[in-house]
């Protein structure tokens, strides 16, 4: 199922949105990824990915409140859709399948 | 704690490129980070990181598409501007009417004058190669250092320069050799026509449109003639005249029509009605040989067509070299040539004699560049005055619209919206005014055409460029005049507007005052200009010319027998009861053709030759024209053929104080621009005896000083007789003319009977001035009216503003007069200041113009006083209507409310 395929960064973002459950907006998502995975994320890359996932239907967004440091600009909260969940499942399943098929011998080679 | 703000330009950059629907939350995220980074890393680092983040956001997917955003709202606003503009116009009908009227007046003047100026500036632009056509001008200096500048050159210069000079693509020669009767041999009606001769390339250089015929071959064969359609209509009554024959009365063979041209447009320097092929004359071997040795004469008008990008200066230098290499010039004579662009022929030929023509052919009519400049500026000024009006009225009325502006701003209009709204309002006014103006112009056009002797029709005659320019200028006026008001009115702070605070408008008011001063300065200058012109034209027409010009019929001698048999004609004419005197002469005072000049000096005196004009006349000349004889005697009989009369000016240069039979030597005369020996033998002179001195009279226009003049007897070697002058009585003029005609025709049946009334002919010297006076008069009137419309509006406004003050003053005992003075004083002051500016400007301008005339009025102080009184008076009248209205209002009514 091609249209359920996810890119690596897309998968990470989608998973992080899930992890943050209800508190996922630009700043928290970026922080979360950077902390957990110890990798640098630029806002540009993150925003583009978020929008793309949204346009594919894996995420949905709604405007939230603002804070003082945002000078009146609203937060945009993201949430995984059922379709997005399906994509994650598909992604996991396909990896698991591959993992299972992997001969034990290969894993021992380090 | 003071919050650190990020650099604005970065966020603005983000806003500029980011998709609007993404922008708000992304900016929020950035700001959140920014604050955090300022706390952790300090401001500089935070700024840097922000920059980096924004730059990394600049990528497809986030950058918005380039289409104009919010197109729908924009259209909606434009619609609203129009609705509001329209309503505002309707709401204040008085001011709208004043505005539209002022602009309409201005535009009517502008369009009419613009048509005229445009036409004058576009003379001779009908030719597709016109940019490359030049007229050859000869500058000659003879051995006694007399310089002449003639628009003519020799035969061979035209013939050879196209071979010898590579930049010359083609040349053509033209001559206006004289006037003759041109008739249909089957149905002869004698009418004099100018004979124009040109060589076969004439129609290849110029593209006069052919109705029929081949432009390449029409003038090739001898005895070919090309006629214009109106000549064809006049002679044959039909335009279908190809290959028919015509007969000139001086030629034995008939000529064949090989082409029919469209009639010339009014803005053409070429007025010929027919062109005869040059080969007609040069079929004769002898003539041709003579012409082929002619390098340096000024017998032909030569036009050259240069290659594209050729430099006319270098071409004319090569022409000079070419002539020097081939011509045999008299020792001491210096020649040089220059090329005059075709488009300059009409307006920039001052000081250039029109050559290549017989002296009995009228020269090419010239335009007057001074008047064109003056008209151009008056047209612009009138439009300017009208524009100023609009600005003044609109800014003055700002206060009545302050609330409106305040509310608009409060509910979210930004300055741009208000500016646009005011501009749309001014554009609506301008467009209405323009439409009305075009309507009025189309009504006035027939009268105007008649008056300036042109043939405009509103849309066809001037083409798209004129209208594009006019509409462009009018839009500019609309924008400019609305622009200032728009900028000013949209600047105010909405809070103070809605609180009802008075505006501090001192600055704005002084600008308005300055504009009123400008308006009245222009108007006053125009008033003075009109008065001066009027006085000068009246002076020209009424001043004593030193001879009698009234009821003088001047009949041209056009057939040989009228000259040879003149005694009989004179005798017959003087038998007519209503004829007082008859005289014959070579020229008449106020001559419209070229006067002959003679070189002369008193016999035996040392000194150089002087130059005097020469007229030939009979013994009745002085009587007929009532010219006063100061000393000596008049001509008596045929023995006087070697006697001359001279005028005072000539007496002065010759050093003759009283008549004692001095002999005068006349070796050379000039019928056109250059002098030549009088007799075939160069060394002999005409040596007449001075028998009388006559009082100076103005034989030329009053532009020129009275020059020395000699009057020779009708039978003389200088010039034959050319006119009958008949002084008639005022009764039954038409019957007298008929009798004169029958005498002339009885003398020779081919007589065309061409006559003029001398006073009409003299008035033509000044017809341009008269025309300008009328135009300037109307424009001055319009400018005053427009300025007054503006003043009326301002006075209305001032009175409204000061109603309360007036009420208080009345309650405290002010009388009507003091209140009127209070309101009028400000405006009268402005007009007086305007006069201070206008007087010197007008004085300088008028003086410069009057210098053109040797005889002119003095500019008296009363002209200025009159103009000042007119300007002030009209201004006062305008203002006082409002002042009186304000002054007689019952103060209770004004003061009751508040």
Listing DSSP states for B28-81 in one string gives HHHHHHHHHHHHHH-HHHHHHHHHHHHHHH-STTTBPPSSPS-HHHHHHHHHHH
- In B, minimum Cα distance to A68 occurs at B32
User: In chain B, what residues touch A70 (CB-CB under 8 Å)?
Assistant: 28-29, 31-32
Give the model's pLDDT for residue B840. 92
Give the model's pLDDT for residue B73. 56
Give the model's pLDDT for residue B4. 79
Q: Do A42 and B56 touch (CB under 8 A)?
A: yes
Q: Do B53 and A67 touch (CB under 8 A)?
A: no
DSSP string, B594-643: PPEEEEEEETT--SPPEEEEEEEE-TTHHHHHTPPEEEE----SGGGGGE
How many angstroms separate the CA of residue A47 from the nearest CA in chain B? 8
Give the model's pLDDT for residue B462. 65
Q: What is the mean pLDDT of residues B562-571?
A: 87
Are B892 and B837 in a shared domain? yes
How many angstroms separate the CA of residue A60 from the nearest CA in chain B? 14
- Chain A residues contacting B, CB < 8 Å? 25-27, 42-45, 47-48, 51-52, 63, 66-67, 69-71, 73-76
Contact of B4 with chain A, judged by CB distance below 8 Å, is answered with no
Is B811 part of any domain? yes
Q: Do B29 and A52 touch (CB under 8 A)?
A: no
Does the pLDDT value for residue B104 go beyond 60? yes
Helix (H, G, I), strand (E, B) or coil at B582: strand
Is B816 part of any domain? yes
Nearest-angstrom CA–CA distance, B388 and B102: 10
User: In chain B, what residues touch A49 (CB-CB under 8 Å)?
Assistant: none
Give the model's pLDDT for residue B673. 65
Is B741 part of any domain? no
Does the pLDDT value for residue B617 go beyond 50? yes
Are B583 and B527 in a shared domain? no
User: In chain B, what residues touch A27 (CB-CB under 8 Å)?
Assistant: 29, 32-33
Contact of B26 with chain A, judged by CB distance below 8 Å, is answered with yes
Are B793 and B890 in a shared domain? yes
Q: What is the mean pLDDT of residues B150-172?
A: 89
Give the model's pLDDT for residue B508. 53
Does the pLDDT value for residue A50 go beyond 50? yes
Are B709 and B777 in a shared domain? no
The residue among B3, B10, B28, B34 with the most chain A CBs within 10 A of its CB, best to mutate, is B28
Nearest-angstrom CA–CA distance, B716 and B617: 9
Are B666 and B803 in a shared domain? no
Is B234 part of any domain? yes
Does the pLDDT value for residue B174 go beyond 70? yes
Beta-carbon pairs below 8 A across chains A and B: 61
Per-domain residue ranges of chain A: 2-108
Q: What is the mean pLDDT of residues B479-499?
A: 78
Number of domain units in chain B: 4
Q: How far is CA B529 from the centre of its chain?
A: 16
Final residue of a structural domain among B728, B757, B789? B728
- In B, minimum Cα distance to A75 occurs at B25
User: In chain A, what residues touch B25 (CB-CB under 8 Å)?
Assistant: 25-26, 63, 73-76
Is B124 part of any domain? no
Contact of B539 with chain A, judged by CB distance below 8 Å, is answered with no
CA distances, B513 to each of B393, B396, B850 (Å): 12, 11, 33
Final residue of a structural domain among B728, B757, B787? B728
| Domain A2-108: assigned CATH number | 1.10.10.10
User: In chain A, what residues touch B30 (CB-CB under 8 Å)?
Assistant: 43
User: In chain A, what residues touch B57 (CB-CB under 8 Å)?
Assistant: 43-44, 47
Q: How far is CA B835 from the centre of its chain?
A: 27
Does the pLDDT value for residue B360 go beyond 80? no
Are B334 and B191 in a shared domain? yes
Are B386 and B515 in a shared domain? yes
Confidence band (pLDDT; 50, 70, 90) for B502? low
Residues 622 through 651 of chain B touching chain A, CB cutoff 8 Å: none
Q: Do B61 and A51 touch (CB under 8 A)?
A: yes
- In A, minimum Cα distance to B63 occurs at A48
Does the pLDDT value for residue A13 go beyond 90? yes
Give the model's pLDDT for residue B1. 46
Query: Vertex B694, ends B689 and B696: CA angle to 5°?
Result: 130
pLDDT per residue over B654-709, tens digit each? Answer: 888 888 778 888 888 887 667 778 887 777 888 888 889 999 998 888 878 888 99
Are B283 and B417 in a shared domain? no
State the ipTM, two decimals: 0.88
Give the model's pLDDT for residue B399. 67
Q: What is the mean pLDDT of residues B215-220?
A: 87
CA distances, B262 to each of A45, B210, B211, B236, B265 (Å): 77, 6, 6, 16, 9
Question: Among partner residues A25, A42, A69, which is closest to B35 by beta-carbon distance?
Answer: A69
Is B75 part of any domain? no
Residue-number span of the structural domain to which B696 is assigned: 579-728
Are B775 and B672 in a shared domain? no
User: In chain B, what residues touch A69 (CB-CB under 8 Å)?
Assistant: 31-32, 35-36
pLDDT per residue over B737-795, tens digit each? Answer: 999 889 888 888 878 788 888 888 888 878 877 888 888 888 888 888 888 888 888 88
Q: What percentage of chain B has pLDDT greater than the value 70? A: 96
Are B525 and B666 in a shared domain? no
The residue among A29, A67, A68, A73 with the most chain B CBs within 10 A of its CB, best to mutate, is A73
User: In chain B, what residues touch A52 (CB-CB under 8 Å)?
Assistant: 61
Give the model's pLDDT for residue A80. 92
What average pLDDT does chain B have?
84
pLDDT top residue among B333 and B844: B844
Does the pLDDT value for residue A109 go beyond 70? no
- What does the H/E/C string look like for B279-294? HHHHCCHHHHHHHCCC
Nearest-angstrom CA–CA distance, A26 and A6: 20
Pair B276, B196: CB distance under 8 Å: yes
Is B134 part of any domain? yes
Q: How far is CA B127 from the centre of its chain?
A: 21
How many angstroms separate the CA of residue A59 from the nearest CA in chain B? 15
Is B82 part of any domain? no
Give the model's pLDDT for residue B898. 55
Least confident of A70-79, B121-130, B464-473: B464-473
Are B217 and B249 in a shared domain? yes
Are B607 and B715 in a shared domain? yes
Does the pLDDT value for residue A16 go beyond 90? yes
Q: What is the mean pLDDT of residues B117-129?
A: 85
User: In chain B, what residues touch A67 (CB-CB under 8 Å)?
Assistant: 32
Give the model's pLDDT for residue A78. 92
Confidence band (pLDDT; 50, 70, 90) for B304? very high
Q: Do A44 and B57 touch (CB under 8 A)?
A: yes
Q: Which helix (H) or strand (E) holds B336?
A: strand B334-341
Q: Do A48 and B59 touch (CB under 8 A)?
A: yes
Q: What is the mean pLDDT of residues B420-437?
A: 88
């Amino acid at each position: 199922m091609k249209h359920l395929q996810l890119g690596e960064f897309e998968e990470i973002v989608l998973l992080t949105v899930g992890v943050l459950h209800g508190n996922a907006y630009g700043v928290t998502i970026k922080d979360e990824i950077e902390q957990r995975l110890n990798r640098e994320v630029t806002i540009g890359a993150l925003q583009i990915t978020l929008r793309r996932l949204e346009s594919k239907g894996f995420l949905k967004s709604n405007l939230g409140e603002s804070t003082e440091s945002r000078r009146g600009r609203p937060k945009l909260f993201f949430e995984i859709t059922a379709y997005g969940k399906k994509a994650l499942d598909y992604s996991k399943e396909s990896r698991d399948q591959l993992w299972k098929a992997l001969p034990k011998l290969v894993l021992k080679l380090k | 704690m003071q919050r650190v703000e990020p650099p604005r330009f970065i966020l603005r950059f983000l806003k500029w490129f980011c998709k609007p629907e993404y922008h708000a939350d992304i900016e929020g995220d950035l700001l959140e980070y920014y604050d955090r980074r300022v706390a952790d890393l300090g401001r500089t680092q935070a700024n840097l990181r922000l920059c980096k983040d924004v730059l990394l956001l600049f990528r497809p997917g986030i950058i918005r598409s380039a289409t104009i955003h919010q197109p729908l709202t924009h259209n909606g606003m434009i619609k609203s501007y129009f609705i509001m503009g329209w309503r505002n116009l309707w709401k204040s009908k008085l001011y709208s009417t004043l505005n539209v009227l002022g602009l309409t007046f201005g535009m009517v003047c502008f369009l009419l004058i613009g048509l005229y100026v445009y036409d004058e500036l576009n003379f001779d632009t009908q030719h597709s190669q016109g940019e490359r056509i030049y007229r050859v001008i000869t500058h000659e200096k003879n051995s006694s250092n007399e310089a002449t500048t003639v628009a003519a050159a020799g035969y061979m210069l035209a013939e050879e320069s196209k071979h010898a000079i590579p930049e010359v693509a083609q040349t053509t020669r033209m001559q206006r050799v004289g006037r003759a009767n041109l008739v249909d041999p089957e149905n002869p009606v004698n009418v004099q026509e100018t004979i124009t001769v040109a060589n076969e390339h004439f129609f290849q250089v110029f593209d006069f449109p052919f109705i029929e015929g081949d432009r390449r071959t029409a003038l090739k064969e001898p005895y070919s003639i090309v006629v214009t359609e109106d000549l064809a209509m006049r002679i044959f009554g039909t335009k279908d005249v190809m290959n028919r024959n015509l007969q000139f009365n001086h030629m034995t063979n008939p000529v064949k029509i090989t082409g029919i041209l469209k009639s010339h447009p009014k803005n053409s320097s070429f007025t010929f009605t027919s062109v005869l092929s040059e080969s007609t004359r040069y079929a004769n071997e002898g003539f041709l040989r003579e012409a082929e040795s002619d390098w340096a004469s000024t017998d032909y008008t030569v036009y050259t067509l240069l290659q594209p990008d050729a430099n006319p200066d270098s071409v004319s230098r090569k022409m000079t070299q070419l002539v020097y290499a081939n011509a045999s010039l008299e020792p001491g004579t210096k020649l040089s040539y220059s090329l005059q662009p075709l488009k300059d022929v009409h307006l920039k030929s001052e000081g250039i004699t029109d050559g290549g023509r017989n002296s009995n052919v009228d020269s090419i009519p010239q335009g007057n560049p001074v008047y064109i400049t003056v008209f151009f500026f008056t047209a612009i000024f009138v439009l300017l005055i009208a524009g100023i009006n609009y600005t003044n009225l609109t800014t003055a009325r700002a206060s009545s619209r302050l609330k409106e502006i305040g509310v608009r701003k409060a509910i979210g209009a930004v300055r741009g919206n208000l500016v646009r709204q005011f501009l749309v309002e001014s554009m609506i006014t301008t467009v209405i005014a323009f439409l009305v103006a075009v309507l009025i112009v189309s009504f006035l056009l027939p009268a105007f055409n008649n008056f300036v002797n042109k043939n405009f029709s509103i849309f066809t005659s001037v083409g798209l460029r004129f209208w594009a320019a006019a509409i462009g200028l009018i839009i500019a006026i609309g924008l400019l005049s609305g622009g200032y008001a728009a900028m000013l009115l949209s600047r105010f702070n909405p809070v103070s507007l809605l609180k009802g605070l008075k505006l501090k408008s001192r600055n704005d008011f002084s600008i308005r005052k300055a504009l009123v001063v400008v308006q009245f300065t222009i108007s006053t200058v125009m008033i003075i200009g009109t008065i001066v012109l009027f006085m000068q034209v009246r002076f020209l027409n009424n001043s004593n010319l030193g001879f009698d010009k009234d009821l003088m019929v001047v009949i041209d001698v056009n057939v040989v027998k009228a000259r040879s048999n003149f005694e009989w004609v004179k005798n017959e004419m003087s038998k007519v009861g209503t004829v007082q005197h008859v005289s014959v002469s070579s020229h008449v005072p106020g001559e419209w053709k070229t006067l002959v000049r003679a070189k002369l000096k008193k016999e035996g005196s040392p000194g150089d030759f002087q130059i005097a004009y020469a007229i030939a006349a009979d013994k009745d000349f002085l009587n007929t024209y009532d010219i006063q004889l100061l000393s000596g005697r008049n001509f008596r009989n045929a023995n006087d053929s070697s006697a001359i009369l001279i005028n005072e000016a000539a007496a002065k240069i010759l050093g003759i104080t009283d008549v004692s039979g001095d002999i005068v030597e006349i070796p050379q005369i000039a019928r056109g621009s250059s002098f030549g020996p009088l007799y075939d033998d160069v060394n002999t002179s005409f040596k007449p005896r001075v028998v009388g001195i006559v009082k100076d009279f103005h034989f030329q226009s009053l532009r020129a000083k009275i020059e020395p003049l000699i009057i020779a007897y009708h039978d003389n070697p200088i010039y034959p007789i050319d006119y009958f002058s008949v002084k008639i009585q005022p009764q039954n003029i038409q019957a007298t003319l008929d009798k004169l005609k029958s005498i002339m025709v009885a003398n020779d049946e081919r007589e065309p009977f061409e006559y003029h009334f001398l006073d009409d002919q003299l008035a033509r010297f000044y017809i341009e001035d008269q025309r300008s006076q009328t135009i300037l008069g109307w424009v001055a009137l319009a400018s005053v009216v427009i300025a007054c419309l503006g003043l009326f509006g301002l006075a209305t406004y001032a009175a409204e503003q000061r109603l309360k003050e007036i009420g208080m003053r009345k309650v405290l005992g002010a009388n009507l007069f003091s209140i009127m003075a209070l309101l009028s004083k400000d405006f009268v002051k402005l007009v007086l200041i305007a006069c201070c500016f206008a007087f010197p400007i007008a004085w300088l301008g008028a003086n410069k113009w009057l210098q053109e005339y040797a005889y002119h009025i003095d500019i008296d102080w009363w002209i200025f006083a009159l103009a000042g009184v007119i300007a002030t008076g009209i201004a006062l009248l305008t203002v006082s209507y409002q002042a009186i209205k304000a002054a007689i209002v019952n103060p209770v009514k004004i003061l009751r409310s508040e």
